[in-house]
Amino acid sequence: MIKDLHPNVVKDIAVAVALEGESVESKTWYVYLINLKDVPLETVLITSKGYGEKNGEQVKTSVLRHSFPVIPPKSFKLIEPIDEATFGLNNEYWLSYYIGKDIFDKKFIFLPESIVDGNFIKLPVVNKPGVMIL
């Protein structure tokens, strides 16, 4: 019976952290969901949290929940702002969505210190510098 189920593999979906702006005092960062598919994503749910070790102690951030009824094809959606202070933690985004009657889900994790200039690319669709996980 399990052999009859087809795996719902998440492809052409990305979560990205983009640098929005810079001043002398700070940088402004946002997290985006990027739909690179030719079909819309429906009933999109995302949870986000940070966790890890900082200064020898375990740290956890609040769990935030986001929902979007539809994300059109070849588009992006702002998930949330992100503070540079959390870049030393694991930043996890758990995505769930429907395409037709099929449900898909995937966990995207930005590892500590992975959001650095050396990992920047020009983000597709968003057209800003940042770090992306497919």
Mean of the per-residue pLDDT values for the chain? 93
pLDDT digits (tens, 9 = 90+) for 13-67: 999 999 988 887 888 999 999 999 999 999 999 999 999 998 889 999 999 999 9
Q: CATH assignment of 2-133?
A: 2.60.40
Q: Name the token pair of 47.
A: 């949870």
Q: Name the token pair of 15.
A: 């979560």
pTM more than 0.75: yes
Is the separation of the CB atoms in 123 and 18 below 8 Å?
A: yes
- The amino acid that residue 8 corresponds to is N
Res 5 pLDDT > 70: no
**pLDDT level of residue 6 (50, 70, 90 thresholds):** low
